[in-house]
Chains A and B, each alone.
Chain A
Amino acid sequence: MTVASIGFGELTRRIVHDDIRARVPLQGSIELTYRCNLACTHCWVNLPTGDRAARARELTAAELHRITDEIVDAGTLWLLLTGGEVFVRPDFFEIYRYMKRKGLLVSIFTNGTMITERVADQLAERPPTRLEISLYGVTAPTYRAMTNVDALDRCLRGIRLLLDRGITLKLKSVVTTANYDEFLAIREYSMREFGIVFRYDPNINFRKVEGRAGSAPAAVRVSPEKIVALDLALDAEATEARRRYEAPSPIGGEYVFTCGAGINTFHVDPYGRMSSCMMVPSIGYDLRSGSFREGWESFFDRIVNRKKTKSIRCDTCAIAGTCDSCPGWGDLEHGDLEAPVDYLCELSHRRAEAFGSAALISTIKMKEPAHG
């Protein structure tokens, strides 16, 4: 047989080798802009659409073409385009079409509010591999409380325009204090109106945009107890959390990064700074000054081989390997790649108590005084 169809999972398994010396940057993400037409209270990057200084600093389409050429040469297959809001860039389709033409499997994250008929038509012509829209609420007051803009109708229009053209998409939202009480309604609406399963993310990061780094988004985080209550109320998500926490794992080992960062994944911010992941802006490489290959090679020592320098409570925690905490969270929250993050710690322990085995729960409870 000389030709065969293949699914993403199988393809990944075949390409990703256990040998980390074979490092191939298979997956990447690019933030095309930090500017956005919404002004969400939870967002870690958003800047006003009209921020001229930010716009002037962004990678041009020509620079993005060059980066595309380099990552394709290096073996990248999957690429996520995110922001900010990607469609505030008038040259989005010039960038997107070039990436598709080079054989990248491009995914897009968007708030959906700028998807007009023209945008939807162009996406339908060359559909993204994956398209995810944030649906922050299904009533105008909640949507506005989340985004500071009256744009719910535009978001719903965008979703319908894409579905009318047969584009597969996913709906999602972060959960914050502003939309927590509407979550069951959002989920029900998504299924009833669009036939799409809605998923949520409780993780809200500190801001990472230069000059605006800060903890403001954390003010809208929902308490860990209420997140677990949501896990239990939303079947699919509860199943996912249950699956993960039924058999959680410790983390162990001598290395800081245990997630594959710098082995198969990379990230590029709107200004050309490459990092191992969008969560770790502190270890970067300027693609305007050098090549992707040079930056990628530099990550071997700075990321892949980076060893722990201290003992932290996660080292002996039975569920640290299942927890969402990672060097990126520590970096954003404490400026320290190795620092634990209290919010995630409490959330993980509550989830393990809700979904884990009795033996595990007793282990966790013994460790509880270490929190905080």
Chain B
Amino acid sequence: MDNDRRYVRDEDFVYRRIVDEVLLLPIRHNFGDLQSIFTLNEVGACIWELLDGSRTLRNIRDVIASEFDVTADVATADLEEFVARLEDVGAVHPVAA
């Protein structure tokens, strides 16, 4: 993992909390495709809020490891998987170093 990478959220994804659900809603995609709505768990929601383009993945990993009951290794793996998935769907973009 390149811990110095930074990512920024795409403005065309809206983050909402409704009752117990945390949702990512892409407003430019066609919702006729039901797979375009994403739900996040609490770790994912926390990561999403931290992906502001200024924090490095190392910073975010450290926050996750301190706020949730996970080891640094697990936090790293979760973060890698999450960011890769978000990048796949266009919800985040890497920030040039």
Contact = CB atoms under 8 A, between A and B. Distances in A.
Given A100-B27, A105-B31, A166-B30, A3 B18 contact: no
A105 B29 CA distance: 11
A3 B31 contact: no
By size class, the interface of chain B is 20 to 34
* Secondary structure dominating the interface of B: mixed
Contacts of A167: 30, 32
B54 to A, nearest CB: 21
The residue among A1, A100, A125, A166 with the most chain B CB atoms within 10 A of its own CB is A1
Given A15-B18, A102-B14, A3 B24 contact: yes
Contacts of B15: 103
Interface string A280-300: 000000000000000000000
A1 B74 CA distance: 11
B21 interface: yes
A195 interface: no
Contacts, number: 87
Contacts of A5: 34-39
Contacts of B20: 14-15
Interface in A118-163: 125-130
B37 A168 contact: no
B76 to A, nearest CB: 13
A128 B30 CA distance: 7
A75 B21 CA distance: 11
Interface string A1-38: 11111111001001101000010101000000000000
A126 B81 contact: no
Interface in B1-57: 14-16, 18-21, 23-25, 27-32, 34-41, 43-44, 47
Contacts of B78: 2
Interface residues of A, number: 32
A257 to B, nearest CB: 22
Contact of A15 (B21, B35, B82): B21
Contacts of A168: 30, 32
B29 A127 contact: yes
A366 B44 CA distance: 59
Interface string B77-91: 010011001100000
Interface string A310-351: 000000000000000000000000000000000000000000
Interface of A: 1-8, 11, 14-15, 17, 22, 24, 26, 72, 75, 77, 100-103, 105, 125-130, 166-168
Given A6-B38, A7-B37, A129-B31, 6 more contacts: A11-B23, A11-B39, A22-B19, A24-B18, A77-B16, A167-B30
